[in-house]
Amino acid sequence: MTTTPGAKTPFVEKAFHVSWDQFHRDARALAWRLNGSAPFTGVVAITRGGLVPAAIVARELDMRIIDTFCVASYVAESVRSEVRVLKNVSPELGRTEGEGLLVVDDLVDTGATIMVVRALLPKAHVATVYAKPLGRPLVDTFITEVSQDTWIYFPWDLGLSFQAPIAGSERG
């Protein structure tokens, strides 16, 4: 991903717009794939992107223990910085180095966030809905791979707006 100086949105060769319906289907597919894995004692959502898929996966797998691992890796909308841990998992969940935990995020991009998670919870099972090639080897389970130069626009990043009818656009 590249950004133009002072720009708020990234300049990328490819964009992948994900609707709420598509994201829900993909998160349920992740739960289906995880259903055959070892039983999990709890879910850890990597915030903020992992909150929605973690809720869907927890519902589908009938899991009630849900925690968050809060990180910041962007200083602006599209400008990456070093990963900062803002909140770790609760001590009782983290005491086993993540054994039995399912860590969920929306996307693994470069893998920087997952590397921090793996250092703190090396025995956890890490799952993402989407994976890019640089980060893919760091996750145990994912659903869809996208190219490294693709920027994913998640439904919570988008707003609905009016689209003029095609037939009416020719009129002045």
User: Catalytic residues, which ones?
Assistant: 105-106, 109
Strands 79-87 and 66-76 come out as antiparallel
How many C-beta neighbours within 10 Å does residue 42 have?
A: 20
Residues 45 and 154: their CA atoms lie apart, in Å, by 16
Check residue 38 and report its DSSP letter. P
Q: Which residues contact 80 (CB under 8 A, 6 or more apart)?
A: 73, 74, 110, 112
